[in-house]
Amino acid sequence: MASGRTTTGASERGEGFLALPLMLFYLLFFIAPLLLLFAVSLHADKDMAAWGLAQYAKALSDGFGLGVLFDTLRLGVETTLLCLLLGFPLAWLHRNAGPRWQGVIILVTVLPLLTSVIVRTFAWIVILGRQGIVNTLLLELGLTETPLRLLYTHGGLVIALAQVQLPLMVLPLIDALQKLDPNLESASAALGAGRWRSFFRIVLPLSLPGIIAGSVLTFSAAVTAFITQSLVGGGQQLYMPMYIYQQALTLQNWPFAATISVIFMVAVLFCIALFNLLGRYTRRYSAM
Amino acid sequence: MPDMAVQDSDTSPAFQKAGQSLTLDAITHRFGSATAVDDVTLDIRAGELVSLLGPSGCGKTTLLRIVAGFINQTMGRVIVGGTPIDDLPPNRRSVGIVFQNYALFPHLTVADNIAYGLAARGTDRAAQRVRVEEMLALVQMQLFADRYPRQLSGGQQQRIALARALAVQPRILLLDEPFAALDKNLRLDMQIEIKRIQKMSGITAVMVTHDQEEALSMSDRIAVLSQGRLEQFGTPSQIYDRPETLFVNTFVGTSNLLPGHLESSDATSCAVRLDDGLRLVLPRPAEKMAAGTAVVVSVRPDNLAFVEDGEGLAGKVELGMPLGTTIVHEIVTASGRALKVSSARSAGAQPFTSGTPVRVAPVSLDAVQIFPAPKQ
Ligand SMILES: Nc1ncnc2c1ncn2[C@@H]1O[C@H](COP(=O)(O)OP(=O)(O)O)[C@@H](O)[C@H]1O
Ligand SMILES: [Mg+2]
């Protein structure tokens, strides 16, 4: 064990140099701007003349801003849940399909990634609009008298975001389910467990790593999806990315924009930490 | 072979129900157009340990999965204790299975793995704990209750897989290549262990193996399969001493195969002329073969012995190897056929040197087998 550790350490030191360019890149274009952002947020006034925590006091006592933050996190959670609900059956289908169908499912899953977010978002505007496909269909079928308001609503946005982010959920799920030994389900059945028990006791816990990875990816992508949020959510729906944009570029209030950015980032990291807490459970049995 | 079905008095109190009989009635299974199991019929008695023996790909696992209910057979019936179970899903069959890779649930502790089936049946927690303790004691793993499967060796994992399968008192226990993943020393220990537990629990067990020694040493009866078909079903001594087909003869044990022709056959004996010249008169009729039929005669290496001049087959020693208590010689006959001769080795005895001219003949003519020659 001890000797094993030293060899790994030595090789890591040697190969560490390979990561140096990336480290420099991160330092210059990620860590430095982040520190700068933090520095800007520590100014008491709009013109950045004095230092102080005034912006934080303002942001944390501002009901409107906190409401926007809450809506944004809720958007992320709802999109993640919808992705999970749509993605798990798809990944399950992939697992039980023959090689040809597996290829088709993968293609259909990653296809959205090959088109621009803007194109996909406009497609949703066409689908959800007053004269969009959904409303036309509902009117023709006589299921509704007047067109439904789907576009520029929170619900419509969740649906559009879920479609846009679905690959981020499905790919880790497919990976996790493929690693699952089919004999485990057979063993569970032979021991007397029905399908649902096998699913909740065996399949679900063992695909947790994939669920966590997919959820973290979808959640962070959904809460920061500026373009889709703005176009499908429209003017009435305000989320953090647009709120920050308005404060910085429209109102030129850089310290306040920086402050809400920092608060937003901490909140998102907190949510991701919550997801990862679930991962603790899987580390207990997979680590030697 | 005595009937080895277990008496009630051997049965441990941990098992109320003794095993039940298992009948495979004309089972056929096709994957698409490929026939994996072809009209197999087996009657397995309660408490027996039966091996399905055959080369890789002969349909052993498929047969096991049909009994467990993971595959629905194309034709035929599976009958347990007199009742057909074909319409039951796997979770209602009460058939325990130990997989080749053990398939322990990696996210559950040893105790939770064993309790899994009990929980699925709604056993209350206190009773679960008692049963888990009993099973851990049975497989001698009491100290490992709180470990995760990853923290166990292969043999320990197998014990837990066995304990997990037996905890719910299944009617039948299935074992798929149970020893294939274990190293040689551990394999013998686990063979004894599984045999002990099987006898103690009185459960009917079906074990899949491609290892003939394993099948011969552990089984009450062996079903030899080839290309999905049942070749022979009998006790280890029947399989080894009285193979009914050339396939069983060559698959089980080593044998020398000598081509020849049937000269005559009557009610009590038959005469064979080997292509190498020797004439053998066997003390039993050659069934279903007419005089003149091309045959293959099989003589096990331990049934060949060196004889005096003028008798048996002439040949030259190619190689002699002392193997502990036996010496194995490879002999080459005048026609170039290689024969193995195995003889007991007395203290200090040395093998013949290469090139020594020798003569060999069967010791027991009764143990010589004769089969129709395979069609070319
Ligand atoms: N799911 C399957 N689909 C198609 N063919 C299969 C499947 N499972 C097994 N087979 C085929 O059936 C035959 C018997 O397989 P198997 O029962 O696994 O053999 P064994 O366990 O004796 O090695 C093999 O030729 C194998 O290729
Ligand atoms: Mg097999």
pLDDT at A72 over 70: yes
Phi, psi of B245 (to 5 degrees): -130, 160
Residue A244 has pLDDT above 60, yes or no: yes
Q: DSSP string covering B126-151, please?
A: HHHHHHHHHHHHHTT-GGGTT--GGG
* pLDDT tens per residue across span B17-52: 568 999 999 999 999 999 999 999 999 999 999 999
pLDDT at A231 over 70: yes
For residue B188, the surrounding DSSP H or E stretch is helix B184-201
Half-sphere exposure of B69 (CA within 13 A, CB side): 24
* Structure tokens that stand for A244 in this block: 């920050």
Q: Give me the mean pLDDT over the B229-252 stretch.
A: 95
Ligand 1 geometric centre to CA of B67 (Å): 15
Percentage of the residues of chain B whose pLDDT score is greater than 70: 95
Paired tokens of A105: 């499912």
Q: Is B121 on the interface with A (CB under 8 A)?
A: yes
The phi, psi pair for B357, rounded to 5°, reads: -75, 130
Q: What CA–CA distances, in Å, run from B92 to A135, B70, B87, B142?
A: 49, 12, 10, 29
Share of chain B above pLDDT 90, in %: 71
DSSP assignments along B354-374, one per residue = TT-EEEEEES-STT-EEEEPP
Q: Is A64 inside any structural domain?
A: yes
How many domains is chain A partitioned into structurally?
1
> For the whole model, what pTM was predicted?
0.83
Atom 6 of ligand 1, residue of closest alpha carbon: B31
Residue B19: phi, psi to the nearest 5?
-65, 165
Average pLDDT over residues A233-261: 92
What percent of chain A shows pLDDT beyond 90?
61
For the stretch A94-144, pLDDT in tens is 998 999 999 999 998 888 888 888 888 888 888 888 888 888 888 888 888
The residue assigned the tokens 């088109």 is: A115
Contact across the interface for B116 and A190, Cβ inside 8 Å: no
A2 vs B254, more confident:
B254
Q: In the structure, what pLDDT confidence band is assigned to residue B238 with cuts at 50, 70 and 90?
A: very high
Q: Is A41 within a domain? A: no
SS3 label, residue A171? helix
Residue A144 belongs to a domain: yes
**Residue, of A2 and A24, whose pLDDT is higher:** A24
Residue A86: which domain range?
60-287
Q: Does B312 touch chain A (CB under 8 A)?
A: no
For residue B60, which of B93, B36, B43 has the smallest C-alpha distance? B36
Using the predicted structure, report yes or no on whether residue A233 has a pLDDT greater than 50: yes
Q: What is the pLDDT of residues B158-173, one digit of tens each?
A: 999 999 999 999 999 9
**Residue B15: per-residue pLDDT:** 55
Shortest CA gap A169–chain B (Å): 23
| Distance of alpha carbon A133 from alpha carbon A127, whole angstroms | 5
Which one is predicted more confidently, B11 or B333? B333
Give just the sign of the alpha carbon dihedral B20, B26, B32, B33.
positive
pLDDT tens column, B73-102: 999 999 999 999 999 999 999 999 999 999
Q: Report pLDDT for A15.
A: 77
Beta bridge partners of A191: none
Residue A249 CB-half CA count within 13 A: 6
CB pair distance less than 8 Å for B95 and A192 = no
* The pLDDT of residue B352 is above 80: yes
CA distance A74 to A223: 9
CATH number of the structural domain spanning residue A237? 1.10.3720.10
H/E stretch holding B160? helix B154-167
Look at residue B7 in the predicted model and tell me its pLDDT: 41
Q: HSE on the CB side for A196, CA within 13 Å?
A: 0
The Cα–Cα gap between A130 and B141 comes to 68
- Contact yes or no for B204/B19 (Cβ under 8 A): yes
- Cα separation, A93 vs A90, in Å, equals 5
Is the confidence at residue A272, as pLDDT, over 80?
yes
ipTM exceeds 0.85, yes or no:
no
Residue A15 falls inside a structural domain: no
Nearest ligand (C-alpha, residue B52): 1
Please report residues of A whose CB lies closer than 8 A to that of B94. Answer: 192
| Atom nearest to B71 CA in ligand 1 | 1
DSSP secondary structure letter of residue A29 = I
Query: Which pLDDT does position A276 carry in this prediction?
Result: 86
- A62-75: average pLDDT: 95
Decide if B47 contacts B8 (C-beta within 8 A): no
For residue B63, the ligand 1 atom closest to its alpha carbon is 17
- Is A13 inside any structural domain? no
Å from CA of B76 to ligand 1 middle: 18
Are A183 and B101 in contact (CB < 8 Å)? yes
What are the distances in angstroms from CA A156 to CA A128, A243, B92?
A: 7, 20, 45
Q: Which residues of A touch B (CB under 8 A)?
A: 181, 183-184, 186-194, 197, 201-202, 205-206, 282, 284-286, 288
- According to DSSP, the residues that pair with B340 across neighbouring strands are B330
The pLDDT of residue A219 is above 60: yes
Q: DSSP string of A237-251?
A: ---HHHHHHIIIIIS
Look over chain B and give the mean of its residue pLDDT values, rounded to a whole number: 90
> On the CB side of B256, how many CA atoms lie within 13 Å of its CA?
27
Question: How close is the nearest chain A Cα to the Cα of B134, in Å?
Answer: 17
Phi, psi of B263 (to 5 degrees): -85, -45
- What distance in Å separates the CA atoms of residue A22 and residue A1, rounded to the nearest whole number? 31
Q: Do B105 and A202 count as a contact with CB atoms less than 8 A apart?
A: yes
pLDDT of residue B346: 80
B4, pLDDT greater than 60? no
In the predicted model, what is the mean pLDDT of residues B269-290?
A: 89
> How far is B118 from B125, CA to CA, in rounded Å?
9
Residue B18 has what pLDDT?
66
pLDDT at B19: 82
Positive or negative: CA dihedral A189, A192, A198, A202? negative
* Residue contacts between A and B (CB atoms, under 8 Å): 74
pLDDT given for residue A177 in this prediction:
94
Chain A contact for B151, CB < 8 A? yes
Res A7 pLDDT > 50: no
What is the average pLDDT value for chain A, to the nearest integer? 88
pLDDT in tens, A145-193: 888 888 888 888 999 999 889 999 999 999 999 999 999 999 999 999 9
Residue B304 pLDDT grade (very low, low, confident, very high; cuts 50, 70, 90): very high
What is the model's pLDDT at position A235? 76
Question: What does B242-280 look like in DSSP terms, one character per residue?
Answer: S-SSHHHHHHSS--EEEEEEEEEE-SS-EEEEETTS-EE
Close Cβ partners of B212 (under 8 Å, ≥ 6 residues apart)? B53, B251, B252, B253
Task: Provide the sign of the torsion angle of the four alpha carbons B55, B57, B59, B60, taken in this order.
Answer: positive
Residue A167, domain member (yes or no): yes
* Distance set, CA B166 to CA A238, B25, B51, B155, B171 (Å): 60, 25, 19, 17, 9
- pLDDT at residue A76 tops 90: yes
pLDDT digits (tens, 9 = 90+) for A194-210: 999 999 999 999 999 99
Q: Does B105 touch chain A (CB under 8 A)?
A: yes
Is a pLDDT exceeding 70 seen at residue B5? no
Hey, which of B190-194, B225-229, B251-255 has the most confident mean pLDDT?
A: B225-229
Pocket test for ligand 1, best of B24, B28, B31 (most atoms within 8 A of CB): B31
B146 band by pLDDT with thresholds 50, 70 and 90: very high
User: Does A39 fall in a domain?
Assistant: no
The predicted structure's pLDDT at residue A13 = 60
* DSSP secondary structure, A103-114, as one string: HHHHHHHHGGGG
Report which protein residue has its CA nearest ligand 1's atom 4. Answer: B31
**Whether the Cβ atoms of residue B334 and residue B286 lie closer than 8 Å to each other:** no
Give the torsion through C-alpha atoms of B44, B49, B53, B58, to 10 deg.
Answer: 50
Residue A166, domain member (yes or no): yes
> What is the pLDDT at residue A286?
67
Q: What is the pLDDT of residue B42?
A: 97
Residue A182 contacts by C-beta under 8 Å, 6 or more apart in sequence? none
- What is each CA distance from B169 to B4, B8, B133, B172, B177, in whole angstroms? 21, 16, 15, 9, 21
In order of start, what are the domains of chain B with their CATH numbers? 22-246 (3.40.50.300), 255-372 (2.40.50.140)
| Residue B6 banded pLDDT, cuts 50, 70, 90 | very low
pLDDT value of position B48 = 95
